[in-house]
Amino acid sequence: MSIPDGSKPIVDWFHKKNWKVFDFQKEAWQHYLDGYSGLIHASTGTGKTYAIWPAALIEWMRHGDLTDMIVSKKDKRGHLPLTVLWLTPLRALANDIATSLEQPVRELDLPFTVETRTGDTSSSRRAKQKDNLPSALITTPESLSILLSYENSAEKFKHLKLVVVDEWHELIGNKRGVQVELALARLRRLAPEMRVWGLSATIGNLEQSLDCLLGAQAPNKTSNAKSCLVQAKINKEVVAQSVLPPRLDNLPWTGHTGLPMVEEVIKLIDGGRTSIVFTNVRSQTEQWYQRIIEAREDFCGVAALHHGSLDAEVRRWVELALKEERLKFVVSTSSLDLGVDFSPVDRVMQIGSPKGVARAMQRAGRSGHSPGLVSKLYLVPSHALELVEMAAARIAMTKGNVESRYPLNNSIDVLCQHVVTVALGTGFKPDELYDEVRETHCFANLTEADWHWILNFVGTGGVALKAYPEYQRIRQEDGRYIISDKSLALKHRLSIGTIVSDQAMEVCFTTGERIGQVEESFISRLKKGDRFIFAGRYLELVDVRGMKARVRISPIKSGIIPRWMGGRLPLSSELSYEVRLLISRASAGDYDEVEMAFLRPLLELQAKRSSLPELSQILVETYKSREGYHLFVYPFEGRLVNEGIAILVAYQLSRISPSTYSIAMNDWGFEILSDRPILFEEGSTGAAAFFKNFRYDNLAEDIRACLNSTEMAKRQFREIARVAGLIFQGYPGANKTVKQVQVSSGLLYDVFVDFDPDNLLVRQAHDEVLERHLEISRMIGALSRLASSEIVEVPLTKASPFCLPLMVDRLRGKLTSEKLAQRILRMQLDLAKDMRP
């Protein structure tokens, strides 16, 4: 492909650095110069940054003039006004991107300045940027919203030519992505000739992602009327390999830490130049780092750990040391997943299942992060059956079956925040902003009635809060909505942001004795009187006061098990399908994959004691033990969906024959335990007809009936209230406690339910509960497959390998560690006796 006109200085610069200009880079340059917006899809480490940044430089070299140059005492030569805005989801990426952008500018002596603006930027630098922005600014969605809230935003952004949204796949599908959509719509009004380009490495639904990025195309505008998708036809070589222990019995049958594989991981670290050891949760990161250091004291000084809870300075030191090859390895969570170029890293280890194809590919791309280099990923199982998921991930990576990311619709809380931002900045006329907002994918179908509700709510507090001045945030003056109150302006800027972490909730007896902590999202699922297993005890929820769940000992020995962050990554649909396919192949005697061959004795035992389901089948096992009557069902649909189906099944069973049920679930299936025989219809214990006729036409209503959906919605509303600006978190150094925030949001929720029943934020809270906590869209597909599949019902005489992890998960909260270990050992010995050598 020929190079665009005027690009020879850039091409020569590439050649001087011994870099090849790829066709997809030249294609993107040409499309940008022709006025297109678009999405660049290329593997990690193939040059996405230089597929779009040089285009802005070429455009200036071809057509630029110096009439708008900004001259200062320090920069007498002057620099261009803000021309390029680069959005990144992680502030940790900003410095790395800035280095890449500065390199050609400095070496070609171009009048561009490059700066960053994130939460880590000093207050003095941010103050200077308020009046004097650089030519290219690298920032986050939150920082961009703050810039749009200033009165001079129209003047500052009017010269903007290009907005780059880096790692778009990390933003689409969450509220920060909605924030970006709204900001882009605003910028299009301020800079009509602006083009928008997204960068992404791992996303399945490219066309939909492009549409979401660019929004609805206004027929009366020329900007963004032309769009394109640029795909790199570069076969980035990724080598994925599962790490196998010497013997199958070296692996535990259940668990998530993976620590029995520490010696194998140390061998891999020794054999490489520099390694990153990825875990799925922070506690696991701490465990692995300590265990490796204890095993190899000589690693002290050349090892580090990295996760989001560490101080920003510590994280930056680790990143720099990794770049400069001063570290042999780093143990990390997803905090090192994205974008940063760590050239010395030549191998990556993933502890436990990656749970998704995109996550596996993203992490693999941290090694060999340059064109032509091989990315190496070693998959380290934390328990035996997890090897099936690792084989599935390896195969799916080869096929390129990457998960889709679906954009959100009608995030009213983010829109409320944005309305205040625009009123605080340039102000707005209601009809003009309505048209602007509807150009986004998220609000394309926003009705005029809902828009007027939002304006009334933000302006007066709505029906329920109109008597309180603090909720009257915007006012009309000469037909425009504005904010003139400095106190409101400061509070809003301090509150901008949409990321709210799940809080840990203290569990204590009614006497005040503390038991421990579980995630707040787990407690929000419970109603008063519900039972759960925690700290080796059967507990009954008495009430929730602030951030404390008060309990008492339950006389009934049953209950569900809390989830911690280690269980928050459900198996993706793509990986679930590959797992089912591998098990189906094994049922026909196909063990060609190395992981499946290694697991063959265990899988053959599953077939002997129960069954290996084919792709068109659902396996249902029943089993009687001294604990009661067990029902095991294996949809292979991920933890959240399996939990939702389990709750619905238990609800339906209770209507047939009232009983006490305990539930446990994992990514493969779920267990329902009863103290009496489980009846699937009047007088029948057969499961096949029950599941074939399972009704899900009133799914949302059934979920609300069997879950405490009101309490869950109230919990979800706290995040919505924060984002919408109903709750002020406090000034720096004097933030409100979590308890104060929770109480405030709870009161607001109750007020809205009682006095403003049509409140859009309350409706949003209920919708988010169904989609975010239970994946209801995916659950509908899973229930449809359940109804159309052949039900293979197997009454067990001995526990099967598939049901063992479910039983252990339930026992984990019931027994002490020592007793649980003894119980697991007995189960494993029982399985081992029947396994073929």
Instruction: Decide which of 655 and 209 is more confident.
Output: 209
What are the E-state strand segments in 637-685? 661-665, 670-674
Give yes or no for residue 222 having a pLDDT over 50.
no
**Partners of 242 in the beta sheet?**
379
Token look-up 């769009």 returns: 227
Q: Write the CB contacts of 435 (distance below 8 Å, at least 6 apart in sequence).
A: none
pLDDT at position 517 is 61
> Is pLDDT above 50 for 565?
no
Q: Which helix (H) or strand (E) holds 212?
A: helix 206-214
Band the pLDDT of 223: cuts 50, 70, 90.
very low
User: Residue length, the chain?
Assistant: 837
- The DSSP secondary-structure symbol of 836 reads -
Q: Tens digit of pLDDT for each residue in 455-474?
A: 999 999 999 999 888 899 99
pLDDT surpassing 50 at residue 536: no
814: pLDDT strictly greater than 90 = no
Sequence-ordered list of residues with C-beta below 8 angstroms from that of 134, at least 6 positions apart, any chain: 79, 82, 112, 113, 114, 115
- Which has more confidence, 245 or 808? 245
Mean pLDDT score, 541-550: 82
Residue 683, pLDDT score: 56
How many Cβ atoms sit within 10 Å of the Cβ of residue 398? 10
Summarised one tens digit per residue, pLDDT across range 277-291 is 999 877 677 778 888
For residue 755, count other CB atoms closer than 10 A to its CB. 12
- pLDDT tens for 128-170 read 877 788 999 999 999 999 999 998 899 999 999 999 999 999 8
Mean pLDDT calculated for residue range 282-303: 85
Q: How far apart are CA 434 and CA 419, in angstroms?
A: 10
Checking if the pLDDT of 63 tops 90, the result is: no
DSSP per residue, 234-258:
----EEEEE---SSGGGS-SS-S--
| Separation CA 367–CA 373 (nearest Å) | 9
pTM score over 0.85: no
**How far from each other are the two terminal CA atoms of the chain, in whole angstroms?**
59
Q: What share of the chain is helix, strand, coil (3-state, %, to 5)?
A: 45, 15, 40
Task: Specify the residue for token string 């984990």.
Answer: 812
CA atoms of 265 and 278, how far apart (whole Å) = 11
What is the DSSP code (8-state) at residue 500?
A: -
H or E element that contains 643: helix 639-656
β-bridge partners, 543? 550
Q: Is the dihedral of CA 586, 588, 594, 597 positive or negative?
A: positive
User: Is residue 499 scored above 60 in pLDDT?
Assistant: no
What residues are paired with 349 via a beta bridge? 277, 378
- pLDDT, the chain, mean: 84
DSSP H or E stretch at residue 809: helix 803-812
Among 510, 575, 595, which residue's Cα sits nearest to residue 549?
A: 510
pLDDT tier, 735 (very low <50, low <70, confident <90, very high otherwise): very low
Which tokens sit at 679? Answer: 């009846």
**pLDDT exceeds cutoff 90 at 104:** yes
Nearest alpha carbon to residue 269 among 232, 311, 233, 304: 304
Write a three-state SS string for 381-431: CCCCCHHHHHHHHHHHHHHCCCCCCCCCCCCHHHHHHHHHHHHHCCCECHH
Does the pLDDT of residue 189 top 70, yes or no?
yes
pLDDT at 94 over 90: no
CB 556 within 8 A of CB 538: yes
- Would you say 803 and 671 are in contact if contact means Cβ atoms under 8 Å apart? yes
User: CA 198 to CA 230: how far, in whole Å?
Assistant: 10
- Band the pLDDT of 431: cuts 50, 70, 90: very high
Q: Which amino acid is at 475?
A: R
379, 241 in Cβ contact below 8 A?
yes
pLDDT for 818 = 53
Task: Identify any residues that bridge with 514 across adjacent strands, giving them in sequence order.
Answer: 508
Question: Cα separation of 169 and 177, whole Å?
Answer: 9
Whether the predicted pLDDT of 9 surpasses 90: yes
Confidence of residue 729 (pLDDT cuts 50, 70, 90): low
Distance CA 455, CA 460 (A): 8
Q: What's the confidence (pLDDT) of residue 504?
A: 53
Q: What is the DSSP letter of 79?
A: B
What amino acid is encoded at 100 in this protein?
Answer: S
Tokens, residue 588: 């026909």
Q: What is the pLDDT of residues 330-357, one digit of tens each?
A: 998 877 876 566 778 889 999 999 999 9
**More confidently predicted of 507 and 615:** 615
Higher pLDDT, 528 or 157: 157
Q: How far apart are CA 573 and CA 177, in angstroms?
A: 22
Which amino acid is residue 58, in one-letter code? I
123 pLDDT tier (thresholds 50, 70, 90)? confident
Model pLDDT, residue 85 = 97
Q: Which residues sit opposite 197 in a β-bridge?
A: 38, 164
Using the predicted structure, report yes or no on whether residue 502 has a pLDDT greater than 60. no
- The pLDDT-based confidence of 270 (bands split at 50, 70, 90) is very high
User: Which pLDDT value is given to residue 699?
Assistant: 76
529 dihedral zone (left: phi>0; alpha: psi -120 to 50; beta)? left
Say how far apart CA 450 and CA 437 lie, in whole Å: 12
What pLDDT was estimated at residue 164? Answer: 97
Burial of 486 from C-beta contacts in 10 A (0-12 / 13-18 / 19+): exposed
pLDDT tens sequence across 755-802: 998 999 999 998 888 887 778 888 888 988 988 899 999 999 999 999
Considering only 102-106, 126-130, 242-246, which range has the smallest mean pLDDT?
126-130
Amino acid at 632: F
In whole angstroms, give the CA distance from residue 786 to residue 780.
10
Q: Are 521 and 715 within 8 A, CB to CB?
A: yes
The residues near 519 (Cβ < 8 Å, ≥ 6 apart) are 502, 503, 504, 505, 562, 563, 564, 565
Only one residue has tokens 């294609």, namely 27
Contact between 182 and 444 under an 8 Å Cβ cutoff? The reply is: no
User: Is the model more confident about 657 or about 228?
Assistant: 228
Strand-pair partners of 533: 538
Q: Which helix (H) or strand (E) holds 475?
A: strand 475-477
Instruction: Give 698 or 493, the one with higher predicted confidence.
Output: 493
| Contact yes or no for 632/803 (Cβ under 8 A) | yes
Residues 485, 424: Cα–Cα separation, whole Å: 9
Q: What contacts 498, CB < 8 A, 6 or more positions away?
A: 142, 174, 175, 176, 178, 179, 413, 414, 417, 723
144's CB contacts (< 8 A; 6+ apart) are 85, 87, 180, 183
Q: Are 667 and 383 in contact (CB under 8 A)?
A: no
**How high is the pLDDT of residue 219?**
38
pLDDT at 77: 65
Q: Which two tokens stand for residue 308?
A: 């989001």
Neighbouring CB atoms inside 10 A of 571's CB total 26
Alpha-carbon gap, residue 540 to 544, rounded angstroms: 12
| Token pair recorded at residue 826 | 């007995």
Please give the pLDDT value at position 698: 73
Identify the weakest region by mean pLDDT among 22-26, 299-303, 730-734. Answer: 730-734
The pLDDT assigned to 312 comes to 65
In the numeric block, which tokens belong to residue 489?
Answer: 């302006």
Which string of b and e fits 513-539 if b means at least 16 CB within 10 Å?
eebebbbbbbbbbbeeeebbbbeebbb
Of 242 and 704, the structure prediction assigns the larger pLDDT to 242
Which letter does DSSP use for residue 657 in this model? Answer: S
Who wins on pLDDT, 47 or 614? 614
- How far from chain centre, in Å, is Cα 446? 26
* Residues 132-165: b if buried by 16+ CB within 10 A, e if exposed: ebbbbbbbbbbbbbbbbbbeebeebbebbbbbbb
- What 8-state DSSP symbol labels residue 90? -
Beta-sheet strands, E only, within 160-218: 162-165, 195-200
Is the pLDDT reported for residue 439 higher than 80?
yes
